[in-house]
Amino acid sequence: MKNFLIDIGNSAIKTCTAEYGSMSVSKVTRIGYEKKEFIKTFENSLKISARVENIKCVGISLLNKKLSEPIRKIIIKIFGLEPSFIGTESQLPFQLGYAKTIGSDRLCSSAAAFMLSKYKTILTIDFGTATTYTVINNSKLIGGMISPGIGTSYNSLISNTNLPVADLKFPKNQISSNTAENISGGVLYQSLYTTERFIEETVRKFGDTHVFSTGGYSKLIKSRTAMIDKIDRSLVLKGINIIISS
């Protein structure tokens, strides 16, 4: 029997299937969406990706809780199953020392990292629309930090200034002599240095730390630092499966 897993972020929908309790996912699809067209995009994407037999459970990580009911109705319509929405009331593999406001994506990525690691301290960094840093210590999620994501920082800078459009890639030199490279370098090095300093402070406080990263910009940041141990773009999906299989 398979589980159908759905990760609904701030700008994209990811779906996949996984065997009950497995740390391996398959048939991962990603579809971007505009907020005004979300429900239509979501239903159409499921009609294509949900052609899988023997689905036992549908697990969902959803950031915008206002969409819970329309999503629930679509899942019931397509799968004939009541979906499981991940939240602080879910059966988690670790203790939760954080307010109930924590996003389900952070719970899921942390759950996957926790199950994949044998370290006492685990840091999960998600380079998405927001960049989130989430720390588990001694089997307890204790907190972290949220900062604007790389794309969000770039878009805000361009839309609120008269600066030119730039490619989001690291320039050859940190000190560059044209504005486009100054912009891309500024946005990316800001994220890189924040990440490295957060890792340093976590290690200073707790000792050896296993650092996981996920999200659309994870590979780009990892290319410039040795402080991230593992990239896993499906970390949230794997965490959903762990939690709904508990």
5 within 8 A of 18, measured Cβ to Cβ: yes
64 within 8 A of 87, measured Cβ to Cβ: no
Q: What is the layout of strands, in order, in the sheet containing 84-85?
A: 26-32, 12-19, 2-8, 55-62, 84-85
pLDDT interval class at 18 (50, 70, 90): very high
Check whether residue 99 and residue 181 sit in a common domain: yes
Single-letter residue type at 58: V
Name residue, tokens 């990580």.
61
Residue 201 has pLDDT above 90, yes or no: yes
**Secondary element (H or E) of residue 93:** none
Domain's final residue, options 85, 119, 146: 85
Q: What are phi and psi of 30, to 5 degrees?
A: -135, 130
Q: What is the CATH number of the domain that holds 192?
A: 3.30.420.40
Q: Is 103 helix (H, G, I), strand (E, B) or coil?
A: coil
Mean pLDDT of the chain: 95
**Number of compact structural domains in the chain:** 2
Domain's final residue, options 50, 85, 120: 85
Residue 222 within any structural domain of the chain: yes
pLDDT-above-90 percentage for the chain: 89
pLDDT of residue 35: 86
Look up the domain containing 215 and give its range. 95-240
Check whether residue 129 and residue 63 sit in a common domain: no
Check whether residue 52 and residue 114 sit in a common domain: no
Residue 245 within any structural domain of the chain: no
Residue 242 has pLDDT above 90, yes or no: yes
Residue 90 within any structural domain of the chain: no
Q: What is the DSSP letter of 165?
A: P
The pLDDT tens digits for 103-144 are 999 999 999 999 999 999 999 999 999 999 999 999 999 999
pTM: 0.95
Residue 225 to residue 228: CA distance in whole angstroms = 7
Residue 36 has pLDDT above 90, yes or no: no
Residue 246 within any structural domain of the chain: no
Check whether residue 31 and residue 115 sit in a common domain: no
Single-letter residue type at 95: Q
